[in-house]
Structure 1
Amino acid sequence: MAKKSTQNATQAPLALEADLRLTAAPALRDTLLAALNAGAAVQLDGSAVAQVDAAALQVLAAFSRDARAASVPVAWTGASDTLRRGVAVLGLHALIELPAHAGVN
């Protein structure tokens, strides 16, 4: 699941939950689809992700693909080591496009 930060609701990054495993995938999908349907640029903050599995990574990959197809810019403001390892293990760098130095924890 992801939640909006309370700082600036229009520009605030979507903060990904610490536990991004199978049970979180449907809520994550719904949140990302809502952000995509808004049509504005999306910022994601994955710095708090402590657990991630293939289901959540597939949701992130599909969201990234769909955002690119809809010309909706996606930027990362942070990515935990756990998130980076998951992306690397599944070979999803080209789809998820984590930046080289996005506030790694």
Structure 2
Amino acid sequence: MAKKSSKDAPRAPLALDADLRIGAAPALREALLGALAAGEAIQLDGKAVTQIDTAGLQVLAAFSRDARAAGLPVAWTGVSDPLRRGVSVLGLHALIELPAEAGVN
């Protein structure tokens, strides 16, 4: 049996902070750029997000665009209601592909 390296192990989801307003945008951008630089499928966990504004959503939208351009799949392991509402209010569904809500067709 071939020995698996740590590179073969699935990456843990990148947990987003609770506050993704303008003051947190630079740190969010750096974390997401790091995920892109790894060149692997990316999992984001947004269940802890309690506050998000246009700046945070712009960073997520740019990240989603860049991941798509690089051919890297992005999956969400959790999405908070504030995150979902922000994406909806700005009409970013097509760009920030959040999973459908449970029980919604």
Q: Do the two structures share a fold, i.e. TM-score over 0.5?
A: yes
Runs of 4+ in structure 1 over 2 Å off: none
> CA offset at residue 10 of structure 1?
4.8
Instruction: Indicate the SS of the match to 2:72.
Output: coil
% same residue: 77
Larger gyration radius, structure 1 or structure 2: 2
Aligned residues: 94
The Cα shift of 1:69 comes to: 0.3
SS at match of 1:93: coil
2:26 is the counterpart of 1:26: yes
Hey, what does 1:73 align to over in structure 2? 73
Q: Amino acid of the residue matched to residue 74 of structure 1?
A: V
Structure 2 counterpart SS, 1:48: coil
Gaps of 5+ in 1: 1-8
Q: Which has the higher helix share?
A: 1
Q: Encode CA deviations 1:24-44: one digit per residue, 9 max, x unaligned.
A: 000000110011011001000
Question: Match for 1:90: what amino acid?
Answer: L
Superposition CA RMSD, Å: 1.3
Using the TM superposition, give the Cα deviation of residue 58 of structure 1 relative to its aligned residue in structure 2, in angstroms. 0.3
Give the 5 Å matches for 1:1-105: 10-101=10-101
What 5-or-longer segments of structure 2 have no aligned partner?
Answer: 1-8
